[in-house]
Amino acid sequence: MPPTAQDSVVFQGNARTPGAACGSLSIADVELSFWGGINQHTGEVIDRSHPLSGQIIKDTILAIPGGRGSCSGSLVMMELMLNNVGPKALVLERPDSIITLGVLMTEEFFDKSIPIVELGSLDFQRLLTLDDHTIWVDDGRVSNSPLESQKNTTCARNDLETALDLSQWDKDALRGIHGEATRHALRLIIRMAEMMGASELIDVTQCHIDGCFFVGQGTVAFAERLRNLGGRFRVPSTINSISVDMKRWRALGVDVEFGENAERIANALVDMGALKTFTCAPYLLQDTAPRFGDRIAWGESNAVLFANSVIGARTLKIPDGLDTAIALTGRAPNAGVYRDENRLAEVIITLPLITDVDDSFWPVIGFAAGAVAKNRIPVIAGLEGLAPSLDDLKTFGAAFGTSASAPLFHIVGITPEAPTLEAVCPNKQSSRCTETPLTLDMIRSTWDHFSHGLSQRKVELISLGNPHFSVKEIGKFAQLVRNREKHKDVAVIITCGRSHWGLAEQAGYVSELERFGVQFLVDTCWCFVEEPVIPQPVKTILTNSGKYIHYGPGLTGREFCFGSLSMCAEVACTGIHSGERPLWLRNTGSGDSP
């Protein structure tokens, strides 16, 4: 029976980090992405679709099932703590590597910590009835009445004991033989490995560093301290999108302090040996993209999903900060989807027959499927008759990663590990692999959520390239607007990596689109673009990204609408978004209205 405010209850959970705290309970039964979901300077929840939207988490006991979305939540967690606007304690329903890492990084490098308790599903549901009441947390216990204080409320950083089966290199690294940066890095990896239930560490062949953008002074200090301690990356490492266009940020009017801090982080990573790739789509890089079966360590949620699902490489959803640590050591926890048994599907998502789709279909289905899957690995059935391009699968994965926390998806007949349903769900009747339909009503609801209503509206900015556009997407947009004139009141901005910008320039697409009026940004992406790059008069932004349509309203404070690439081209010329559903959705089923 759920407790009431008058009942005195004590829930015993798992203390991921020790400590004692007391504060008002702020709780929701919905996962939350810390990046794009919480303002690291104020502590306000800015995910406008979340039940806690608008609440200030400073000094609360924050309780959520776990995180979702971006790998960058660890950096936001660290900044919240360093800015003294974070919660006094975290209560989670299950282990969460991203949020937990943020606390461990702050403890390891800045000597600040808060208690984290993993409560389990039953007690977490019971805790929901105590929202907004005073809650005490102490050594894994959660109560609505005072608990006995513990003398030791922080971890002892100097004496790391572990049951992991460490290699001789690992043992030497912990003794500082390979340098202080490596020693700190391996300590983080070992603590995360213990949380993940790993018994050993494994070698990886490459890393992709997502923790490379400016969140606050803590992110600068973290990168520069590792560099100044002599850190050198042990495996080849690429860099994700950063906060600014490295070559043009001053000309674009970006705040000098912001731009210089962004450069400092990027330069520190390059000094440690990272490649100057600056893209959130490392799978598009011809020289460094992994192959099927490779064990890698990638950050950036959309990149993780593409690598695991579309390529068939193997990576955990590496939190920001842990990616840098793994690059310094070449070692990762042998847990999660590195292991064969953890790559099988946990839920079958079935789709109705839908034909004649356009590119807007894939982010809509990806987001809807992610909302069903949540933290479970899905296999999606019903898309066998379609032939998605790699760009379609990229947008599917980016949207899926926005609404789900799972690091992998399968699509029957399309992704490499799912030639058949049975290949990833060998016993369909078992309790491991339940079946859930993704109905037409759910798909329409997702489109309407993306569109923020079905009304006609004026658009002042078109956002393309989240994740980064490929040369094929740039070429497709060039074809759609060829011999047409851009509306004078509409700005069009495309973000892409240096590599594919160069390919597009060679093909003539860049000069053609610039004549039309398109502005290109490289090195950065829409997750970081703010004023003045987004002109102050802009009120409504149109995007074809299932990721940006979710995060954009909270990040920019603007109104948003959604459409296919061809819709974006049309609006670029007319300035008006019709607000109608696409033909593939209007023509599906019976009795539909636009």
H or E segment to which residue 173 belongs: helix 168-174
CATH class held by domain 10-143: alpha beta
- pLDDT of 277: 97
Q: By C-alpha distance, which of 313, 334, 333, 323 is closest to 407?
A: 313
Location of structure tokens 């990762």: 332
DSSP result, 510-553: HHHHHHHTEEEEESB-TTT--TTTS-TT--EEEE--TTHHHHHH
Report the pLDDT value the prediction gives residue 404, as an integer from 0 to 100: 93
Q: pLDDT 10s digit of each residue in the chain, 594 long?
A: 566 656 789 999 999 999 999 999 999 999 999 988 999 999 999 998 899 999 999 999 999 999 987 888 999 999 999 999 999 999 999 999 999 999 999 999 999 999 999 999 999 999 999 999 999 999 899 999 998 754 343 333 345 778 899 999 999 999 999 999 999 999 999 999 999 999 999 999 999 999 999 999 999 999 999 999 999 999 999 999 999 999 999 999 999 999 999 999 999 999 999 999 999 999 999 999 999 999 999 999 999 999 999 999 999 999 999 999 999 999 999 999 999 999 999 999 999 989 899 999 999 999 999 999 999 999 999 999 899 999 999 999 999 999 999 999 999 999 999 999 999 998 765 557 889 999 999 999 999 999 887 789 999 999 999 999 999 999 999 999 999 999 999 999 999 999 999 999 999 999 999 999 999 999 999 989 999 999 999 999 999 999 999 999 988 999 999 999 999 999 999 999 998 999 999 876 544 433
Q: What is the pLDDT of residue 432?
A: 73
Given this model, what pLDDT does residue 589 score?
57
CA distance between the termini of the chain: 46
Which 8-state DSSP code applies to residue 12? E
Q: How far apart are CA 381 and CA 584, in angstroms?
A: 18
Fold of 168-339: Aconitase; domain 3 (3.30.499)
How confident is the model at residue 5, as a pLDDT? 56
Q: Catalytic residue numbers?
A: 70
Q: Which residues contact 520 (CB under 8 A, 6 or more apart)?
A: 493, 494, 495, 496, 501, 510, 513, 514
| pTM recorded for the entire structure | 0.90
Q: Report DSSP letters for 318-354, one per residue.
A: PPTTHHHHHHHH-EEES-GGGSGGGGS-SEEEE----
The owner of tokens 């590599």 is 499
Beta bridge partners of 207: 237, 297
Report the top-level CATH class of 456-578. alpha beta
> What are the structural domain ranges in the chain?
10-143, 168-339, 344-448, 456-578
CA 515/CA 502 separation, integer angstroms: 17
| Distance from C-alpha of 594 to C-alpha of 579, rounded to nearest angstrom | 9
- DSSP sequence for 204-254: -S-EEE---S-SSHHHHHHHHHHHHTT---SS-EEE--BSS-TTTTTTTT-
* Common-topology check for domains 168-339 and 456-578: yes
DSSP, residue by residue, 38-68? B-TTT-BB--TTSTTTT-B-TTSEEEES-B-
CA atoms within 13 A on the CB side of 8: 3
